[in-house]
Every structure is written in C-alpha cells, then in structure tokens.
A = this chain, B = another copy of it.
Amino acid sequence: MVLWLLAVVTGLWLGQASAPDGSLPAPSNVPGAQYPRVHPDNSVTFRIKADGAQKVTIGTYELAKGADGFWSVTTRPYTPGFHYYSVVVDGFTTTDPGSQTFFGYGRQNSAIEIPGPESDFFAPKDVPHGAVRMEWYYSKATSRWRRVFVYTPPGYDRDRGTRYPVLYLQHGAGEDETGWSRQGHENFILDNLIAAGRSKPMIVVNENGTILPRPGGPPPPPRGPGAMIENRFTEFDEVVSRDLIPFIDATFRTVADRDHRAIAGLSMGGAEAMRVGVNHLERFSHIGLFSPAISSLDPATHYDARLADAAAFNKQLRLLWIGIGTEDTLHPGVRASHEALQRAGIRHTWVESGGGHTWTVWRKYLADFAPLLFR
C-alpha cells in the first residue's frame, strides 16, 4: 500500500506537458493521464495497455499493438465538443482508464472533450460563480430518498432579499442527474450568461428521469417509434409535480408560480419535459425541447388533446422552444412535429442547427434557451 501510494504520487508528477508534436492530454482526462491526446488538427491518439489482447477497438477505429504491449491509434480530426466513447478489448466493452467517467448509455462511460473557440461559452471565467448543490429529499411517489442537483446563481447566499425563477432541466436516456453539470457544464454556461447580462439569474434543477420499476408497479412503457411520445412518464410526472417542486419551493428562495417556472430536457428528457409541462400548465409557462425524442407529433390527439385548441394553448404557454440538429437521426421526426405544430397554429420557436445528437449541441441549446426565459 505504501509503495503503491508513493508510486501514484510520484507518477502524477509526470504531469500534463505538451509533446513536440503539439499534442496535449484531453481536458476530459483524469489528472496526469497522458492519453488520449488531442493534436493541433483535433485528431486524437488513444493508447491502451492490453498486452494479452487479440483485438482492441474504439468506435470504428481498430488499434494496433506496439512492441511495448500498448495498443494505439490516431484518428481523423474530431469536431470540437464532447464525444462519448468506449474501449472494446476482446469483446469487453468498457472505459478507458485515462478518461474521466460520465454517466451515459446506462453506465459510467468515457468521453473526450475536444477544446476549441466553441468551448468559450462554458469555460470557467473570471466572473462571479454559482454553486451546484446535491440535495436529498424523500419522494412519496417512489418511496425513497432521491438526490437532486441544484444550480444556484452567483450571489444566491448573499442577496437574501432576492427570489429566483426555476428551470427544471433534464438529461437523456441512459444518463442521470449528474449529466447537466458534468457533461453539460450548465453552471459555467449560466455564470457566463448572467455575468454578460444575457440571462436572468435563475435556479436550475436536475433530477433523474430514469424511473426504475417497483415491485407491483406499472408495466414497462410501450416500444416502437411512437413510444416516447405515447409514454406518460407517470412516475417521473409524480416525482416532479408532487415531490420535487414542493421541495424546491420550500428549500430555495424561488418565485413559486407558473410564470417563473420552466421545464426543458434533451432527447428522452425532451419527451419528459413536453409530457410533464403540458400536463401541468398550472405549474409551467416555458417548455424547452432539445433534440427531443418526439416523432411525428399529432397536436390534435397526442398529449390528451391538450394542444387541440391552439388559441387556448398559445395563451397559456409563454414559450415552447424546439431545437434539433440536421445531422441528428431524430431530425426527420422532430421536423415533422414542428411542421404539424405550425399547421395547427401552435406558437413555438424553431431552431434547426448543425450537429448531431450530442452534448456539444445541447450545451449550445441551453445557452440559446436560457436568455429567453422569464422575460
């Protein structure tokens, strides 16, 4: 143990230096890990120790074995931003020890952050910083203690007379309540927007939208292309409306009315935001759908026909925001939904951006969406 910890401490002193080829350890690496490395052209060298392996792959790349028992590959240039990846060694799919882990695809996963000028809006800067709190509260809907992440804006502890609006912001399928602070850097995005005067100071709440079954609980949701839009997310709806909102309003200095409450989410979280938001227009006045898992929405029938009377719906909702990347496999279904909403006269903001189904896009959506809230 002693020898081991001396080795670790000494090993970390090797540090994170730039190589002669200009490459640098990825900012998403664990401290001291030299690989993966990002080159000036945004190509990446992965390097894995697996001296007894037959085959090592990362995504579509097959790594080659060196004489030292390390496998490596240098990729084509990546686009700047956040990319999940797995290492597959002889059929075993898992993490790269060089990477920090991020909960995605239902497990702790590796990811590589390719830095660039596009990273500026979520970089920690010399501006006042908010905090991200882990809070625990008892949920009657799920009969257990739940953890929730809560961003409080800069000055929250000091400005005791101030009350704040709240954005409930959800992750995607296979992710959890850590996603928006770890992968998403929501705190730095909001810190920077608030410092620039572009967003109102607000509280942001991240719950876990993955509801596990209870013995004797409801059956699994239906499968198939329409599943997400048909899914009632009953348990998550109960958690948010019966347990979470009262907890947040009792614990934080919120403005506890619908005009000062928004709900948004990405992918599955977008489907949840739409369902819970439309179910509770008495609670929410703003809804944000980031690359939502919503396909071919029919405003006349879906969501218990609550969108059928467009004039009444438009009057209640101050903002319905929908964004999707043109390279996202969900793009056709979301675009069709947008067109159906348009035909039905449902007022909404439509953003067709570049990019795919990635956190690179969702961070930008948060930075576009937050300034529109609570105006």
Contact = CB atoms under 8 A, between A and B. Distances in A.
A129 B139 CA distance: 14
Contacts of A16: 212
Given A105-B8, A135-B129, A13 B91 contact: no
Contacts of A145: 124
A362 to B, nearest CB: 14
**Which 8 A-B pairs give the minimum distances between C-beta atoms?**
A50-B92, A52-B91, A5-B173, A52-B90, A13-B220, A51-B91, A53-B90, A101-B108
B50 A5 contact: no
Interface residues of A, number: 89
A94 B94 contact: yes
Interface of A: 1-2, 4-6, 8-13, 15-17, 30-33, 48-56, 69, 87, 89-101, 103, 105-108, 124, 126, 129, 131-138, 145, 157, 160, 172-174, 176, 181, 187, 210, 212-213, 215, 220-221, 223-225, 227-228, 251-252, 267-268, 293, 295, 328-330, 333, 357
A112 to B, nearest CB: 14
Nearest to A213: B15
Contact of A215 (B17, B293, B329): B17
Contacts of A329: 1-2
Contacts of A293: 2, 5
Given A97-B93, A124-B145, A136-B124, A106 B30 contact: yes
Contacts of A330: 1-2
Contacts of A87: 92, 94
Contact of A10 (B54, B124, B220, B357): B220
A105 B251 CA distance: 37
A108 B106 contact: no
B107 A213 contact: no
Nearest to A151: B134
A108 B5 CA distance: 16
Given A89-B90, A108-B97, A251-B157, A9 B268 contact: yes
Nearest to A105: B8
Contact of A210 (B1, B12, B210): B12
A30 B135 contact: no
A50 B124 CA distance: 40
A246 to B, nearest CB: 15
